[in-house]
Amino acid sequence: MSKIDNIYKNGDFNHLPFSFNEEVTQVFEDMIERSVPGYISSLKITEEITTKLFQKDSNFYDLGCSLGAVTHQVSDIVRTKNGNILAVDNSEAMIDSCKSRIKDSHISFILDDITKIEIENASVVSLNFVIQFLEPSVRLNFLKGIFKGLKKGGALLLSEKFSFDSNKEEETVSRIHHSFKLANGYSELEVSRKRDALEGVLISQSQAENEGLLYESGFSEIRKVMKNLNFVTFMAIKL
């Protein structure tokens, strides 16, 4: 059970940029549920799509797995089809926590940089709010590697925070997202401290830029399957 996220509440926060360290790992479940509208739905949609598209004897990749919420959601489906889950994160605290909580022979938790691993024999790949933390310049090559490692008929599920081209729209939607976080119990001060910590760490791109990256990587069938405020989920199929 995750602890309540009080990291930015009191004087005990550090002024460093945001990172997925031990402190964040301990409260991560609470943090993401209170900060990302539609997070739980993104897990359920991943489950639905995995039920339809996961192929027998193939691999499911949960890239940037954090505490393994996606892995947990699809575990039974993958096991039934004799598949394996490779859940990868470069945060030692996150991977250690996954390893101590989820033990199943068809799941491997791997401490590594997702841009350095080879994707192979995959029928579903999940990137649930992850590439926003990668340098924009490496995103295209990384997605090309995923496309290459997917089997025909396989899918990449890409969920991202996105930015708007129009400042007016950005302001309006950001204001609603701000209220969403306040309604979930964060104070103005916490929201503003976290925003400062994420500056330069979370780099969002527009919906069109994300779609463009998917097309350029080789995907030709791309569907927007969910959108909540400034968060979007695409399903990209390898035909």
If you compute the radius of gyration of the chain from its CA atoms, what whole number of angstroms results?
17
Exactly one of 37, 64, 83, 149 binds ligand SAM (CB under 6 A); that residue is 64
Name 232's bridge partners. 160, 227
* Distance in angstroms (rounded) separating the CA atoms of residues 129 and 65: 10
Phi, psi (rounded to 5 degrees) for 160: -150, 150
Residue 115 touching ligand SAM (CB under 6 A): yes
Query: What SS3 class is residue 224?
Result: strand
Q: Are 181 and 39 in contact (CB under 8 A)?
A: no
Residue 86 touching ligand SAM (CB under 6 A): no
Q: Which is nearer to ligand SAM, 89 or 211 (CB)?
A: 89
Residues 25-44 that bind ligand SAM (CB under 6 A): 32
Residue 94 touching ligand SAM (CB under 6 A): yes
Tokens encoding 32: 């993401």
Count of residues near ligand SAM by CB under 6 A: 20
Q: Which is nearer to ligand SAM, 4 or 220 (CB)?
A: 4
- Among 196, 222, 218, 194, which Cα is nearest to 208's? 222
Residue 8 touching ligand SAM (CB under 6 A): no
Exactly one of 76, 92, 104, 113 binds ligand SAM (CB under 6 A); that residue is 113
CB of 111 to ligand SAM, least distance (A): 9
Residue number, nearest CB to ligand SAM: 64
Residue 104 touching ligand SAM (CB under 6 A): no
Q: Which is nearer to ligand SAM, 130 or 153 (CB)?
A: 130
Q: Which helix (H) or strand (E) holds 103?
A: none
CB of 37 to ligand SAM, least distance (A): 14
A 10 A CB-CB count for 152 gives 9
Distance of CA 133 to the CA centre of its chain: 9
Name 68's bridge partners. none
Q: CA–CA distance from 161 to each of 10, 24, 38 (Å)?
A: 27, 19, 11
A 10 A CB-CB count for 237 gives 17
Looking at residue 8, the DSSP 8-state letter turns out to be T
Residues 127-166 that bind ligand SAM (CB under 6 A): 128-130, 133-134
Residue 114 touching ligand SAM (CB under 6 A): yes
Q: Which is nearer to ligand SAM, 33 or 170 (CB)?
A: 33
Part of the chain binding ligand SAM (CB under 6 A), chosen from 76-84, 87-95, 100-108, 212-220: 87-95
Residues that bind ligand SAM (CB under 6 A): 20, 32, 64-66, 69-70, 88-91, 94, 113-115, 128-130, 133-134
